[in-house]
Amino acid sequence: MSAAIQATGVVKKFGDVTSVAGLNLAVPEGSFYGIAGPNGAGKTTSIRMITGLLEPDAGTIEVAGTSVWPNPRAAKAVLGYVADNPPLFGRLNAREMLDYAGMLRGMKAADIRSRGDDLLRVLDLQADAGRPIADFSLGMTKRVGLAVAMLHSPRVLILDEPFGALDPVNTRVMEEMLQVFRTGGGTVVFSSHVLDVVQRLCDRVAIIAKGALVAEGTVAELSHGGSLQDAFVDLVGGRELEKGDLSWLSSSPA
């Protein structure tokens, strides 16, 4: 199976700190692919390099067969990206944001309007489409971000913590949208700390720690029939409270 994303030997440093240390990643085309790792593992930095927002210091990245660096514009044409807190224009309303995004991508006005109508309806944003995005909750902002990312029907959709701040109803709708996108031939990649969601949705998972890939495979291969969370802790190392820690939290009177 061909790779929707191929990252080879990717390195990124910030001063003396190495955020990503020779990352190798191959995401199969048409897959639902999860990226997991502890805080500070380099997940978001890796995603920003894959999406053409941050240039690596070394290594190569291809998306749908197109090299992202040193010329990321072609790769961005086949990508959709939703950040953990989408950087949208707060003074625009949801409809204007979709119109602007579509025009930036050179889409026809009729396509922008019809696809935008569909997305606003499915994401339950029609009633609020005329309100400034600055007035939206984080969950609503994430839904607008998803609409912007899907408007041009990308081949690869990348999401950073996509289900955070969403209520159960909108979480289910988003999951169904992503499955429709995948059924149509798209590839979904998402980073999340919610490992039960990763285990439930993903075909394959990459676990990153200290900027490097420490394990990759199907959920069954990594979890060995147990929970992905237990496997994750075993791989990256866990911490437990020592006996007597925080004993002052006892509800007994002093």
The CATH number assigned to the domain holding 200 equals 3.40.50.300
55 falls in which pLDDT band (50, 70, 90)?
Answer: very high
Domain assignment present for residue 254? The answer is: no
Secondary structure element (H or E) that encloses residue 69, with its range: none
Query: Does 121 reside within a domain?
Result: yes
Identify the domain containing residue 38 by its residue range. 1-78+155-172+186-239
pLDDT at res. 205: 94
Task: Please indicate, yes or no, whether residues 125 and 211 belong to a single structural domain of this protein.
Answer: no
pLDDT at position 242, please?
83
Of 226, 231, 227, 208, residue with least CA distance to 35: 208
Residues 162 and 230 in one domain: yes
* pLDDT interval class at 252 (50, 70, 90): low
Beta strand pairing status for 204-209 and 212-218? Answer: antiparallel
Query: Is the predicted pLDDT of residue 224 greater than 90, yes or no?
Result: no
Same domain, 34 and 56: yes
Q: In this structure, is residue 177 part of a structural domain?
A: no
Indicate whether 181 belongs to any domain. Answer: no
Q: Please check the confidence at residue 67 and state whether its pLDDT lies above 80.
A: yes
One domain for residues 24 and 116 = no
- pLDDT at res. 59: 96
Number of domains in the chain: 2
Determine the Cα–Cα distance for residues 205 and 222; give it in Å rounded to an integer: 8
- The phi, psi pair for 111, rounded to 5°, reads -70, -40
Nearest 10 degrees: CA dihedral of 131, 132, 133, 134? Answer: -130
Span 194-209, pLDDT tens digits? 888 888 899 999 999 9
**Do 112 and 168 belong together in one domain?**
no
pLDDT for res 152: 96
Average pLDDT over residues 78-100: 95
Same domain, 73 and 161: yes
Of residues 243 and 135, which shows the higher confidence score?
135
* Confidence tier at 253 by pLDDT (50, 70, 90): low
Report the SS3 class of residue 120.
helix
Neighbours of 248 (CB within 10 A): 6
Distance CA 41, CA 29 (A): 25
Domain match, 160 and 62 both: yes
Per residue in 20-43, pLDDT (tens digit) is 999 999 999 999 999 998 888 899
CA distance 196 to 219: 11
For residues 15, 21, 24, 29, the Cα torsion angle rounded to the nearest 10 degrees is: -50
The two three-digit tokens of residue 126, written as one number: 């029609």
**pLDDT at position 105 over 90:** yes
54 & 168 share domain: yes
Question: Does the residue 246 lie in any domain?
Answer: no
Q: Quick one: 71 and 112 in the same domain?
A: no
Tell me, yes or no, whether 205 lies in a domain. Answer: yes
**Continuous segment of H or E residues that includes residue 213:** strand 212-218
Averaged pLDDT for residues 77-103: 95
Same structural domain, 52 and 142: no
